[in-house]
Structure 1
Amino acid sequence: MIAVLLLAGALDIVPAPVALAWAIGAAGLVAGVLLIRAALAIHRAERVFAACRGAGFVGLGALATGVTGLVPWLLPEHRVTGLTVGLAVIAFCQVVGTSLLPGAARGWVVRLRRAYDGVGLGVSLGFAIYLVPAAADRPDVVPALLVTAGGVAIVTVMVLRARPRPYASLWCGAGSVVSLLSLTGLVLQPSGPLAMLAGLGVVTGLAASAAGGARRDLPPPVLEPRHPDQYLASYPLLALPAAVGVIAAIWHLLTVRDFGTEAILFGLLMVSVLVVRELLVVRDIRRYAGRLRVAEAHFRSLVAGATDLTLVLDESLVVRWQSPAAARLFGLRDEEVLGREFRELIHPEDTPDAEAVIGAVLAGEPEGGPPVLLSARLRDGARLWRETESTISDQRSVPEVAALVVHVRDVGERRHLERTLHKLSFLDQLTGLANRRALMRDLLAMRRRAGQRGTLLVIDLHGLAEINDSRGREIGDAVLIEVARRLRSLVGDGDMAARLGGDEFAVLTGESAVPAYALATRIVTALGEPYALPGATLDLHTNVGLAELAAATDSDEVLRYADLARQRARQLGRDRVEWYDPDVEIQLHRRMGLEQQLLGAADRGELDLVFQPVAALADGRPAGVEALLRWRHPELGTIMPAEILQIAAAIGITAALDEWVLDEACRTLAAWGGDDVWLSVNVGPRELLTARFPERVATVLRDRGLAPERLIIEVAETWIAEDVPAIVAALTGLRNLGVRAALDDFGAGQTSLSHLRRLPVDMLKLSPSLVGSTSVVEVVVSLGRRLGLDIVAKGLETAGQSEAAMRAGCRFGQGFALGRPGPAERVEAYLESHRA
């Protein structure tokens, strides 16, 4: 519609003043409404008061523009005065609105400074306009021109000084400038084609203002902080007002050659404004200079107190400057460094690498990358070489520097600490031996250096946990330290002793199989000797597993093989040495399988008892039976007690097995009936020494209806000597119940006669190893009779052995010659036959 009105006015379809007035009025009304609505919406939604005020003032300026456009039509006789007043109102609204838009300026101080800069430019432009000769012919339009010059100057400075220039300020400022200049054109040319063109300019300016100030979907401007250098660099551009005034004055002098009073006063006003602005500039420069002095002082203090030495090198690598920290950190004086080439300070062995690194930096490699790191030894003021790390930064592209900047740091202590930590990372802190990591490192190196030659020994200590529990960790640590000392004394110069952790050690030797086995034997002997410590003498037992390097494909597999051999040695007993071979792994897998299966063997009905008769040697009549445990494994067949008890001890179910054997044996004896035979049951040490064992025995006898004297608890002689007082107390408790006790395998251990006198036992069962020695048996029988003990000769395989045992004085015998172990049914029939 606005364009149609302008076109109609240009074609004289509608009177030009009418078309122009209504077009400007309509454009001002539309733009003003849009801007004021945007201001109210911003105020309600975002509460951004500066933004809403900015859009509101620009909208008021647009409304004022629309009203001013109606003046030539409504008040033709007061056209110039009305337009001048309108221009003043519009300029005020546009200046205030533009300064309040987002991103234009931050803070009132900044807005006032920029407004003042604009005033200076406006006064200069006004002075130039006043001096133009054509202005003397139209004195009535001079106020309008001055108002326009001031408004345009202030708005222009506001927009151009914003950084970054935001969308709203840029468009509103451009629209304001175009509107003001176009309205000024109407003042100068109220009709004709130029008037229509000026009207089109006013409409365009209003559209630009509305487009910039009414949009709310734009992201907020990112206001980057300006450095004072950038801020002060803009001041030479503001010398333009002075240049404009000077040029106008020179032109007036050349053309008119006369200055009136008003011109002189106008010039004085311009000069005053410019002088005040320059004074403000001087104040800013002084403040900035003060900030520079403070920053320089901070920089000097930082450089002087830094832990790095800073050097500046020219392109010839000559040191041109060094930081004050040089004397404090490296003892270097300026006369010792300045003017010398940087390579003269570097150790000769490190110079080639340093020159290569610096050459790459000079060649621009890596281009735009981080500073390059240089490791080299640097000579200090005491002529000593220090380990240093330097970062080289190429600052040749910076005009103020134009050199290479090198930051040197002393890393000697750090390198020493790194070497120490690296060394400690391969040592066991308690014993001083190598640790597992060092062992694997040397094992890998030996495989690479010597091929397949060499042997790894893995050593396991038995009894250390008990020492820690009973004696304390300090005694346990002392034992480990002594173990390490003994290992060092046994290994050769080319061998390595290591502690794998806990009670496990290892020895890596380059010897072949036979010397390695001899070394393992010596280790078992040496570590088995008593450990004389303050307040205690302790014993340890050892197992050793060996694996040749040729038996495995890598280092981890060698260690695994040696550990498997060590586990096999531990299964077979104490103080043993075992080699790894594939059968060892098979046996270990079999053992692990049996350990898992034994836990539920009783519930599955796989456990069984066989009974072996104990007969009187005089007439061969059965006097008792011994219950023997069997495991009827569904796949492996019958497993004997020696292996069963070993597995049970490893998994901690010996007590449960003993209870099962006791209960099952008593149940079987009660089922046989009669009271002419007794039953003997083997009991392990842990079960015997528990406080509830006598109560358990009494409960079983009561439940099965057996007389206590028919039960004999057999105790192996081999572990009696470990804790005689406890054994005596346990057997005494059984005797109080009426249960008899027997010392099994007498002669196989080292039980002394004094212990035998103390033990409350009723029977001695001689070890098969004593049966062949008649004289020894006679001595034992004689001693047993004096102590009131029954003597049972075990392991009687032939009739001759039975006769010899009877002649020696043994009352009872047990062995294949008298009766083989059999199931309960067969032994029951055997007993019935003898009763008949």
Structure 2
Amino acid sequence: MSLVPPPRRSVPVPEAAAVLAVLLLVAAGLVGLLTAGRAAMVTVALVAVALLHTLLTAAETRRYAERLARQEARFRALVSGGHDLILLLDEGLRVRWQSPAATRLFGLTDADVLGRPFADLLHPRDRSRAGAVFAAVRAGRPPGLLAARLRDGRGDWRETESTVSDLRDVPEVAAVVLHVRDVGEWRRLERRVHHLAVTDRLTGLANRRELRRALTVRRAEPGEPATLLVLDLHGLSEINDGSGQAVGDRVLVEVADRLRAAAGPDDLVAGLAGDEFAVIAEAGSVPAYGLADRLLTTLTEPYRLPGGPVRLEVSIGLADTTAGSADDVLRQADLARRRASQLGRNRVEWYDAFLEEQLVRRLDLERELAGAVTRGELDLVYQPVHGLVDRQPAGTEALLRWRSPLLGTVLPAELIPVAADLGLLDEVGQWVLDRACGQLAAWSATSPLLWMAVNVTPAELTAPDFVTRVAATLARHRVAADRLVVEVNEDGLDTDLPTVVARLAGLRSLGVRTALDDFHAGRASLRRLRELPLDLVKVDPRAVGGSEPEQPLIGVVANLGRRLGLEIVVEELESAGQVDRAYRAGCRYGQGFALSRPATAERVEAFLEEHPSPGALT
């Protein structure tokens, strides 16, 4: 407990004077009571009370005024140091008052602002939006947010956000109150972040995200439909591998520049991923195709690099932007682009429903083919090759079939291109060679002179170890080399003709027979017969002619074959008339449905037992 007595509370001077006056009046009243009586005393008391009330009321008013002045000073200190400009607007939305921070934040003086309509301070394009916000707030809705450009004291437009509140019913305020904040720096940062989010950093083009947004917006807009172009560059990976990533990036930047230059002013050019780009062409199908053709021309022009000029190949797919969602349109254009790539590149393809069916089928094939050999899904059927003199089987051709549980039976025309793209040709080709040689060995007891033909692609034939693998397979199955015929298709031989010649010569050195399949009897094909080391030529059925040909080519081919020491096999004979014409032209062998159909090993074996092979290929 404190031993120091509490200080006495001092009585303010006005209150002390009032109390003293009252005491004097009371004393005078008592004296009057004694001398004048009770009525005089009451009068004196009333006068004293009135005087005391007046004195106390005046004191309270002074104290309230002093407290109000302190609060106003505190408010001014707060708003003058704040980050917001506060404006009070009257009924006509004129500025009645602005906070002291106006000069510091916006360079605005009272002379610049007070008495002026608030709309005069705003950018003309923002005034209608401001009017809508004021109308909504004054109609009783919650405080609104107004984004508008405000002219500062230097005449510059500043991006601001204002909270608008209607306090006209509050007597102390009686105004529409705005809290105005400069958001210019935030907006610039926001735009920068947005730019980074929707832009490819290397090329400065829009990215996939922005492309999808633009497709969604474009689809919702009325008017002429736009067209999406998806482009794929071929050859960029080789530039990266040979010259480095920096050089590859330079090429991508130049590609972006060429795309911008060729596209229209309203077109959106985007980079999708690495060597893929896209353009939303604000045009219908015909102008869009014209743009695609121009892009194909400009993008395949040489690129000047430190090591010398290089060229790229381009595949372009087009789709209508009204075809569905952004993802649907992208998928369709990409399917068309893939089709253009499969058909040989440097071309433009439109999307259509049939194209999608084909490509979906292709995707299914790619998915299922991997592992088909391991799962035991590959199979061979055999089609005999007949001697046209005695109509007896002289040889047979192994034909590949893929028995897919999901896709059904897949023929080589579909299977081989997919295997090539997936890098499975060697695996599939070795399986065929091994199975065919095994079957040939099994038939040796009943048909010791029967020969077996297997088909290989130019890519398989030119593999460095192809001849070695053939020799090992023959040795493993103990099959004489001259009973094997390796057929190579004429298409694609020009890609690496010297290597093809070397591999065919290597096979013949083993004793293996070689054949050229699907021979077309054109001028280039006739010249090739002299260049390639061959034993047989399988002639396209068109060389035999139709039902009544005027000048069948088969006679020319047969004569040339005899001069070059080649045997002619006419394939795909469908009618007895074709068989007869091939025989009369001097062809020794024929193959086709008119003679026998492809069949399983068991059925061919039964056929061979009924029709023993008369002799070998000599």
Scaled to the shorter chain, the TM-score interval is 0.5 to 0.7
Q: 1:97-246 alignment to 2 at 5 Å?
A: none
Q: 1:418-567 alignment to 2 at 5 Å?
A: 418=190, 427-436=199-208, 437-438=210-211, 441=214, 445=218, 448-451=221-224, 455-464=227-236, 468=240, 472-493=244-265, 495-509=267-281, 511-535=283-307, 537-548=309-320, 552=323, 557-567=328-338
Instruction: Tell me how far 1:391 sits from its aligned partner.
Output: 2.4
Q: 1:330 aligns with which of 98, 106, 124?
A: 106
Asked if structure 2 preserves the Cα contact closer than 8 Å seen for 1:624 and 1:680, the reply is no
| C-alpha distance in structure 2 between counterparts of 1:396 and 1:634, whole Å | 80
Structure 2 letter corresponding to 1:365: G
C-alpha distance after superposition, 1:306-338 (max 9, x if no partner): 433344567776666655543333223455446
Q: 1:253-268 alignment to 2 at 5 Å?
A: none
C-alpha distance after superposition, 1:586-633 (max 9, x if no partner): 333443444455456554655214367699x9x999998764423467
Structure 1's 791 and 698: CA in aligned 2 closer, same or farther, altered over 3 A? closer
C-alpha distance after superposition, 1:129-148 (max 9, x if no partner): xxxxxxxxxxxxxxxxxxxx
- What corresponds to 1:793 in structure 2? 537
TM-score (ref. length: structure 2): 0.64
Q: 1:806 aligns with which of 553, 561, 567?
A: 561
| C-alpha distance in structure 1 between counterparts of 2:376 and 2:498, whole Å | 45
Instruction: Tell me how far 1:665 sits from its aligned partner.
Output: 1.8
Q: 1:662 aligns with which of 423, 433, 439?
A: 433
Structure 1 letter corresponding to 2:203: T
Instruction: Tell me how far 1:644 sits from its aligned partner.
Output: 0.9
- What corresponds to 1:269 in structure 2? none
| C-alpha distance in structure 2 between counterparts of 1:661 and 1:554, whole Å | 45
Q: 2:351 aligns with which of 580, 598, 601?
A: 580
Asked if structure 2 preserves the Cα contact closer than 8 Å seen for 1:614 and 1:626, the reply is no
| C-alpha distance in structure 2 between counterparts of 1:360 and 1:746, whole Å | 76
- What corresponds to 2:44 in structure 1? none
Instruction: Tell me how far 1:541 sits from its aligned partner.
Output: 3.5
- 1:705 equivalent in alignment to 2:478: yes
| C-alpha distance in structure 1 between counterparts of 2:246 and 2:342, whole Å | 29
C-alpha distance after superposition, 1:272-313 (max 9, x if no partner): xxxxxxxxxxxxxxxxx9xx99x9999877655543334456
The SS at the match of 1:327 is helix
Structure 1 letter corresponding to 2:478: G
C-alpha distance after superposition, 1:778-810 (max 9, x if no partner): x863x66xxxx4554342655525532334424
Structure 1's 775 and 701: CA in aligned 2 closer, same or farther, altered over 3 A? closer
Structure 1 letter corresponding to 2:140: E
Q: 1:57-76 alignment to 2 at 5 Å?
A: none
| C-alpha distance in structure 2 between counterparts of 1:392 and 1:665, whole Å | 87
Asked if structure 2 preserves the Cα contact closer than 8 Å seen for 1:389 and 1:408, the reply is yes
Asked if structure 2 preserves the Cα contact closer than 8 Å seen for 1:747 and 1:769, the reply is no
Instruction: Tell me how far 1:411 sits from its aligned partner.
Output: 2.4
C-alpha distance after superposition, 1:500-523 (max 9, x if no partner): 444433344455545544544454
Asked if structure 1 preserves the Cα contact closer than 8 Å seen for 2:258 and 2:298, the reply is yes
Structure 1's 760 and 484: CA in aligned 2 closer, same or farther, altered over 3 A? farther
Instruction: Tell me how far 1:667 sits from its aligned partner.
Output: 0.9
Structure 1's 378 and 772: CA in aligned 2 closer, same or farther, altered over 3 A? closer
Which one has the bigger helix percentage? Answer: 1
Instruction: Tell me how far 1:531 sits from its aligned partner.
Output: 4.0
Asked if structure 1 preserves the Cα contact closer than 8 Å seen for 2:392 and 2:614, the reply is no
Q: 1:414 aligns with which of 186, 191, 198?
A: 186
Asked if structure 1 preserves the Cα contact closer than 8 Å seen for 2:504 and 2:534, the reply is no
Larger radius of gyration between Structure 1 and Structure 2: 1
Structure 2 letter corresponding to 1:800: G
The SS at the match of 1:834 is coil
Asked if structure 2 preserves the Cα contact closer than 8 Å seen for 1:655 and 1:687, the reply is no
- 1:682 equivalent in alignment to 2:456: yes
Structure 2 letter corresponding to 1:326: A
The SS at the match of 1:832 is coil
- What corresponds to 1:209 in structure 2? none
Instruction: Tell me how far 1:572 sits from its aligned partner.
Output: 4.5
Instruction: Tell me how far 1:486 sits from its aligned partner.
Output: 3.8
- 1:745 equivalent in alignment to 2:473: no
Asked if structure 1 preserves the Cα contact closer than 8 Å seen for 2:219 and 2:321, the reply is no
Asked if structure 2 preserves the Cα contact closer than 8 Å seen for 1:608 and 1:632, the reply is no
Over the aligned positions, Cα root-mean-square deviation in angstroms equals: 5.5
Instruction: Tell me how far 1:680 sits from its aligned partner.
Output: 5.2
Structure 2 letter corresponding to 1:660: W
Instruction: Tell me how far 1:709 sits from its aligned partner.
Output: 8.1
Q: 1:37-52 alignment to 2 at 5 Å?
A: none
Q: 1:625-664 alignment to 2 at 5 Å?
A: 627-631=398-402, 639-664=410-435
C-alpha distance after superposition, 1:739-786 (max 9, x if no partner): xxxxx6388415466996799745575575574449953x863x66xx
Instruction: Tell me how far 1:410 sits from its aligned partner.
Output: 1.7
- What corresponds to 1:24 in structure 2? none
| C-alpha distance in structure 1 between counterparts of 2:367 and 2:132, whole Å | 66
| C-alpha distance in structure 1 between counterparts of 2:189 and 2:178, whole Å | 25
Asked if structure 2 preserves the Cα contact closer than 8 Å seen for 1:614 and 1:812, the reply is no
| C-alpha distance in structure 1 between counterparts of 2:456 and 2:297, whole Å | 33
| C-alpha distance in structure 2 between counterparts of 1:774 and 1:561, whole Å | 39
| C-alpha distance in structure 1 between counterparts of 2:130 and 2:540, whole Å | 90
Instruction: For structure 2, list consecutive stretches of 5 or more residues without a partner in the other structure.
Output: 31-65, 509-513, 545-553, 572-586, 593-597
Q: 1:320-399 alignment to 2 at 5 Å?
A: 322-337=98-113, 342=118, 345-347=121-123, 350=126, 354=130, 357=133, 365-366=140-141, 371-393=143-165
The SS at the match of 1:407 is strand
| C-alpha distance in structure 2 between counterparts of 1:755 and 1:650, whole Å | 20
Asked if structure 1 preserves the Cα contact closer than 8 Å seen for 2:558 and 2:568, the reply is no
| C-alpha distance in structure 2 between counterparts of 1:443 and 1:627, whole Å | 53
| C-alpha distance in structure 2 between counterparts of 1:364 and 1:747, whole Å | 80
Structure 1's 349 and 802: CA in aligned 2 closer, same or farther, altered over 3 A? closer
| C-alpha distance in structure 2 between counterparts of 1:807 and 1:709, whole Å | 20
The SS at the match of 2:83 is coil
Asked if structure 2 preserves the Cα contact closer than 8 Å seen for 1:746 and 1:765, the reply is no
Structure 1's 594 and 814: CA in aligned 2 closer, same or farther, altered over 3 A? same
Deviation larger for 597-606 or 666-675: 597-606
Which one has the bigger strand percentage? Answer: 2
Instruction: Tell me how far 1:663 sits from its aligned partner.
Output: 1.8
| C-alpha distance in structure 1 between counterparts of 2:93 and 2:287, whole Å | 63
| C-alpha distance in structure 2 between counterparts of 1:754 and 1:564, whole Å | 35
The SS at the match of 2:591 is coil
Instruction: Tell me how far 1:699 sits from its aligned partner.
Output: 6.1
C-alpha distance after superposition, 1:456-513 (max 9, x if no partner): 4333344545655665544443343343344444444565444444443334445554
Percent identity (aligned): 44
Instruction: Tell me how far 1:833 sits from its aligned partner.
Output: 1.9
Count of residues in correspondence between the two structures:
523
The SS at the match of 1:749 is helix
Q: 1:307 aligns with which of 83, 88, 94?
A: 83
TM-score (ref. length: structure 1): 0.49
The SS at the match of 2:613 is helix
| C-alpha distance in structure 1 between counterparts of 2:312 and 2:97, whole Å | 70
Asked if structure 1 preserves the Cα contact closer than 8 Å seen for 2:518 and 2:538, the reply is yes
Structure 1's 381 and 610: CA in aligned 2 closer, same or farther, altered over 3 A? same
C-alpha distance after superposition, 1:70-124 (max 9, x if no partner): xxxxxxxxxxxxxxxxxxxxxxxxxxxxxxxxxxxxxx99xx99x999xx9xxxx
| C-alpha distance in structure 1 between counterparts of 2:491 and 2:327, whole Å | 47
The SS at the match of 1:648 is helix
Structure 1's 433 and 773: CA in aligned 2 closer, same or farther, altered over 3 A? same
